[in-house]
Amino acid sequence: MATELTVQAERAYQKQPHIFLNHKSKAAKSRRVGKGGRRWYKDVGLGFRTPKTAIEGSYIDKKCPFTGMVSIRGRILTGTVVSTKMHRTLILRREYLHFVPKYARYEKRHKNLAAHVSPAFRVEEGDQVTVGQCRPLSKTRLFEANMSTRLTVREYLQVRFNVLRVLPRTGKAVKAFQKF
């Protein structure tokens, strides 16, 4: 659910730690963006541009790679969005082929990955998303999915990735294998 709501919707007062809000001069109270302004943002690097909504928006997210204190380092992965039901978190499906030497054939496999979504992005199921690795952003979360056979499947996912780029989906199928 990457939607920009009212800034003060949480229990704690939401503010960027880099910005002093109580300036006495009227020039400091201007709505300028960037250095010396009322909004702080940064360039993530690695060839990813800061979105305009991160620069001009009013959301506050301390886990956002563009406006928060999270650095992107390590792996850069891509995949398809399967679920956006959690608050500022999505489930990413990565598909790959695994070679079985006994039969000299490949089998289809996939892995699910949890990633944090900044409110700067509008993400829907089926979108192609590029995520970057960062420090752990949450404790290990326990997801329970009730299957049609009434068995309970438990998956342990830890949020260690942040969304850097979103490409809207082109086809209709969300869980179709995309390699071929």
Q: Domain for residue 162, yes or no?
A: yes
Q: What is the mean pLDDT of residues 101-106?
A: 97
Q: Domain for residue 63, yes or no?
A: no
Residue 142: pLDDT above 80?
no
Dihedral sign for Cα atoms in the order 21, 26, 27, 32: positive
A 10 A CB-CB count for 111 gives: 11
What does each C-alpha distance from 33 to 21, 36, 42, 44, 58 come to in angstroms?
Answer: 14, 8, 12, 17, 11
Q: Domain for residue 86, yes or no?
A: yes
- Kindly report the CATH number assigned to the domain that includes residue 79: 2.40.50.1000
Q: Domain for residue 8, yes or no?
A: no
Residue 30: pLDDT above 70?
no
Q: Domain for residue 57, yes or no?
A: no
Number of domains into which the chain is organized: 1
Q: Does the global pTM surpass 0.85?
A: no
Note down the domain range covering 86: 70-140+156-167
Q: Domain for residue 124, yes or no?
A: yes
